[in-house]
Amino acid sequence: MFEFCADPSILPDWQWFACYLTSGTHWAFYRSFLVVILLLIITAPMALGMGMLGALALRSGFAPVNLLGRGYVNLIRGVPDIVFFLFVPIALGQGIEWVLHQINCPDWDQPIRQGNDFIVCREAKMPPVDASAWARNVYGFTMAIIAFALVFGAFVANTLYGAMQAVPRAQVETAESYGMTRRQAFRRIVLPQMWVFALPGLSNIWQILVKATPLLFLLGIQDAVFWARELGGAKTSLYTYPHPDWRVWYFLALLVFYLFLTWASERGFGWLTVRLSRGQATAEGERLRRRAA
Amino acid sequence: MRTCAESFQGYVLRPLGRDYGERLLPRGLDITFCDQLFLIGGGLLWNIYFAALAVGFGFFLAIGVALMKFSDNPWLWRPASGFVFLFRGSPLFIQFFFFYSAFILLPRTGIDIPLGFTTLTVQTSALTTAQVGGLFVLILNTTAYSAELFYGALRSVPKGDLEAADAYGMKGFTKFRRVIWPNMLRLAWPSYTNEVIFLTHSTTLVFLSAFPARQQSGEAFYYARYFVDQTFNPFVAYPLVAAYFIALTLAIIGLFGLANRRLNRHLPQARRQRIRFRPQYIR
């Protein structure tokens, strides 16, 4: 990074730290914070989409769809989600390989589960045998995102379902008496108004999602926790930057990062609540109207 | 192959240490269904240990912190709010890592605190074990979460009850013990039940983070993960551990439901708060 970094062992303190904190592995550490943010940005809309589907299934009058929605929401909410975070990627991975195996190698005569091994033919391996390290990382990350979206989708479904029920019934009835179909009334009346009711629940789920991101580490992804452990551990003089055990400082930095993230999202949701309450038939909306008048 | 009875004898108490059953865990092709059933079930002992002790200590600490946060004195409510923000705003998983890496920096021999006439030695070596250090983090964590619940309940103690207490001439501790405290507990109880459930579920994180499982003695989820690593089959161990946790959750709901009935026994039927199970597991 800096020119004077050629031989760090002779540098004075501040320059040593300037070099140390800009070394290649530290850039990987800083990038891993972006991975956390990336996960949040991708997972949140996916969970919202899953949640919307789940809520619509819960509302559906068609019995099998309704049952499916209820099964999904209750199963995931009833089991500790750490189980799901570890179960979904491996189960999904084996499921994909099994399907590919059935398609690509129909004349394979040996069983797939032999003792404790899960054996599929070469063409069915996912990610493919000759995939690059980068592709393998993306595959692992995608699995993690699916697991997160599945779990948080169930939480969101429950919140959105409650919010849809909370939209005043009289408004829907009025819409229907104007001749709107059930679908039109849902799209024009319920959908725009439900968000203000959903917001407290969604903000809660978002905070939980933020605090769940370090669990990526358990899925073998090189996230902030992984790098904090790697970089913080004691380094002998064999390394360019020898130092004693500094893990506590690295984890302190992580702690501060997460505190900032939750604090900032609290502020963000506060702003959003005010914004969405405008013109709503709620106490907050009434207060905004009075203040403006 | 072991029979089920042999598995039971060998593994049900194995989570307590290698002196309480087979020295080694079952490995590879040697793993039977009964091994998984009993070893994971035995691991549940540690989940109960962590949850019960953390709730036991955390309950009283939380009431203290909630009262501090509720007070008008900035020297009391500021540190209490800071503590609650710190532990509710950061992931428990990171808290485990942070505290573990701080504990291993403490001197092994203990810290000497000179008191003038004598020197007090605080033993610190135990803090690097999950059974003490992990429990310590769990206590702090549940204290923060429960304090926030109790603080909310303190704020919604009915005004009429407080006025009635004043009218009877109650003051200070008497007023707290006979009016504020029962009301606070009653109001906070349904959400406190949920908090206890979340805490029980988050005991699965103790051995997944930095704290080492000495002699391979860990809690239920630690063994579930061990079995999945060994057999590469997630469809047995994970559903098993999930079933155990559902049973544990139902037991907690039953137990706390009894307490809830007692706390609400003076109210007319319709006004009683029921416990609703609203799981949100991660903290």
C-alpha span between B156 and A284 (Å, rounded)? 20
pLDDT tens digits, B186-244 = 888 888 988 898 899 889 989 988 888 888 888 899 999 999 988 888 889 999 998 89
Task: Determine how many CB atoms are found less than 10 A away from the CB of residue A154.
Answer: 23
Measured between CB atoms, does B106 come within 8 Å of chain A?
A: no
Q: And the tokens for B11?
A: 């593994």
**pLDDT reading at A277 higher than 70:** yes
Alpha helix (H) ranges present in chain A? Answer: 13-20, 24-59, 63-78, 81-104, 133-166, 169-177, 182-185, 191-212, 224-232, 247-277, 283-292
Q: Nearest CA to CA, how far is A157 from chain B (Å)?
A: 13
Q: Nearest CA to CA, how far is A257 from chain B (Å)?
A: 9
C-alpha span between B61 and B73 (Å, rounded)? 19
Give the pLDDT band of residue B167 (cuts 50, 70, 90).
Answer: very high
Give the pLDDT band of residue B281 (cuts 50, 70, 90).
Answer: very low
Best of B32, B87, B90, B235 to mutate (most A CBs within 10 Å, chain A): B90
Bin A220: left if φ > 0, else alpha if -120 < ψ < 50, else beta. Answer: left
CATH architecture label of A25-223:
Orthogonal Bundle (1.10)
Does residue B282 sit within a domain? no
| Residue among B231, B241, B282 whose CB faces A81 most closely | B282
CATH number of the domain at B59, please.
1.10.3720.10
Residue type, B203: T
Query: What pLDDT, on the 0 to 100 scale, is given for residue B111?
Result: 76
Query: What pLDDT, on the 0 to 100 scale, is given for residue B120?
Result: 73
Task: Please tell me the least confidently modeled range out of A11-15, A60-64, B77-81.
Answer: A11-15
* Degrees, nearest 5: CA angle A51-A53-A57: 115
Task: Determine how many CB atoms are found less than 10 A away from the CB of residue A107.
Answer: 5
Cβ–Cβ gap A254/B231 under 8 Å: no
Cα dihedral B161, B166, B172, B178 sign: negative
Cβ–Cβ gap A228/B281 under 8 Å: no
Alpha-carbon distances, residue A156 vs A127, A149, B38 (angstroms):
31, 10, 35
Best of B95, B97, B108 to mutate (most A CBs within 10 Å, chain A): B97
pLDDT tens digits, B256-265 = 989 988 888 8
**pLDDT reading at A184 higher than 70:** yes
**Please, what is the average pLDDT of chain A?**
85
Task: Please tell me the least confidently modeled range out of A75-79, A97-101, A163-167, B254-258.
Answer: A75-79
Measured between CB atoms, does A259 come within 8 Å of chain B?
A: yes
**pLDDT reading at A124 higher than 80:** no
> Which residue of chain A has the CA closest to B210?
A229
The kind and range of the H/E element at B2 are: none
Measured between CB atoms, does A82 come within 8 Å of chain B?
A: yes
Task: Please tell me the least confidently modeled range out of A153-157, B105-109, B223-227.
Answer: B105-109
Does residue B41 sit within a domain? yes
Average pLDDT, stretch A59-75?
86
Query: What pLDDT, on the 0 to 100 scale, is given for residue A287?
Result: 81
Burial status of residue B138 (CB atoms within 10 A of its CB: 0-12, 13-18, 19 or more): buried
pLDDT tens digits, A228-262 = 888 888 887 778 778 888 889 999 999 999 999 99
Burial status of residue B193 (CB atoms within 10 A of its CB: 0-12, 13-18, 19 or more): buried
Number of domains in chain B: 1
**Residues facing B114 on adjacent strands:** B119
C-alpha span between B40 and B248 (Å, rounded)? 13
**Residues facing B111 on adjacent strands:** B122
Q: And the tokens for A260?
A: 């900032």
Does residue B278 sit within a domain? no
Query: What pLDDT, on the 0 to 100 scale, is given for residue B4?
Result: 87
Query: What pLDDT, on the 0 to 100 scale, is given for residue B41?
Result: 92
> Which residue of chain A has the CA closest to B250?
A78
Residue A225: which of A235, A238, A216 has the closest Cα?
Answer: A216
Cβ–Cβ gap A94/B89 under 8 Å: no
| Residue among B90, B92, B93 whose CB faces A259 most closely | B90
Task: Please tell me the least confidently modeled range out of A7-16, A37-46, B38-47, B52-61.
Answer: A7-16
Residue type, B112: D
Share of chain B above pLDDT 70, in %: 95
Which residue range forms the structural domain that includes residue B202? 4-271
| Residue among A118, A214, A247 whose CB faces B101 most closely | A247
Query: What pLDDT, on the 0 to 100 scale, is given for residue B136?
Result: 94
Burial status of residue B1 (CB atoms within 10 A of its CB: 0-12, 13-18, 19 or more): exposed
B206 and B50 Cβ atoms separated by less than 8 Å: yes
Does residue B56 sit within a domain? yes
Cβ–Cβ gap B204/A94 under 8 Å: no
This model of the complex carries an ipTM of: 0.84
| Residue among A91, A254, A263 whose CB faces B234 most closely | A91
Q: And the tokens for A245?
A: 């055990």
Question: Which residues lie closer than 8 Å to B201 by C-beta, 6 or more apart?
Answer: A80, A82, B245, B249, B279, B281
C-alpha span between B7 and B223 (Å, rounded)? 15
Give the A:B interface size as CB pairs under 8 Å.
114
Query: What pLDDT, on the 0 to 100 scale, is given for residue B272?
Result: 67
The number of residues in chain B equals: 283
B36 and B240 Cβ atoms separated by less than 8 Å: yes
pLDDT tens digits, B263-272 = 888 877 666 6
Q: And the tokens for B5?
A: 């009875």
Token pair 């004075």 is found at: A12
- Output B125 or B59, whichever has higher pLDDT: B59
Residue B282: which of A213, A203, A108, A192 has the closest Cα?
Answer: A213
Give the pLDDT band of residue B44 (cuts 50, 70, 90).
Answer: very high
- Output A75 or B42, whichever has higher pLDDT: B42
Query: What pLDDT, on the 0 to 100 scale, is given for residue A60?
Result: 84
Best of A255, A266, A267, A269 to mutate (most B CBs within 10 Å, chain B): A255
Cβ–Cβ gap A259/B280 under 8 Å: no
B218 and B16 Cβ atoms separated by less than 8 Å: no
**pLDDT reading at B277 higher than 70:** no
Cα dihedral B55, B58, B60, B64 sign: negative
B255 alpha-carbon distance from chain centroid: 15
Query: What pLDDT, on the 0 to 100 scale, is given for residue B190?
Result: 85
Share of chain A above pLDDT 90, in %: 16
Give the pLDDT band of residue B275 (cuts 50, 70, 90).
Answer: low
Query: What pLDDT, on the 0 to 100 scale, is given for residue A107?
Result: 76
pLDDT tens digits, B112-137 = 777 777 777 777 778 888 889 999 99
Residue A261: which of A211, A190, A199 has the closest Cα?
Answer: A211
C-alpha span between A243 and A87 (Å, rounded)? 38
Measured between CB atoms, does B32 come within 8 Å of chain A?
A: no
